[in-house]
Amino acid sequence: MYLQNNIVLALLAILSVTGLVVHTDFDYLSKTENVVNGPLIYGIIILIHSVFGASGITEKPLVLEKVFMNTFTKFFVLVLLAFAAVRDFEDTIFVTLLFLAITQLIRNEEERKRHPYIL
C-alpha cells in the first residue's frame, strides 16, 4: 500500500509539473486574477497568513480554529496562499497539487498513519 501511494503521489507531482509547463501562456481567469490581485483581497490573504499562519504572532480565536479544522477550508486557504506566491490561478492549481504531493511523499510511514490523507 505504501509503494502504491508513492506511485500515485509521484504521478500527481509529475502531472502538476507538466501542467505548469504546458499552461505557461494560458490565462483562463484573467478577470478573477485582477480582483484577487487588488489590494483588498491580496492584503487580506497576506494578513491571514502572517497573523494566523505557521508562526502567528497571536493565538487564533476559537472560531477560526474550528473553521480551519475543516478540510475544505484548509485546501481553500492553501490555494489562496499559493496564489499569493505565483499570482496566476492556473499555475496556482498545479503548484498546490505539487506541494501536496511532495508533502505526502516525504512523510514517513508513521506520519502517514497519523495523516492518511494529504490535508
Could you tell me if residue 48 is inside a domain?
A: yes
Considering only CA atoms, which of 60, 38, 37, 36 is closest in space to residue 48?
60
Residue 119 DSSP code: -
Domain total in the chain: 1
Could you tell me if residue 119 is inside a domain?
A: no
Rounded CA gap, 71 and 32, in Å? 24
Q: Please report which confidence band the pLDDT of residue 18 belongs to, taking 50, 70 and 90 as the band edges.
A: very high
Q: What is the mean pLDDT of residues 69-93?
A: 83
Tens of pLDDT, residues 21-76 = 888 777 777 777 777 777 667 766 776 666 566 655 567 778 878 887 888 888 88
Q: Please report which confidence band the pLDDT of residue 14 belongs to, taking 50, 70 and 90 as the band edges.
A: very high
Could you tell me if residue 47 is inside a domain?
A: yes
Could you tell me if residue 110 is inside a domain?
A: yes
Could you tell me if residue 29 is inside a domain?
A: yes
Could you tell me if residue 60 is inside a domain?
A: yes
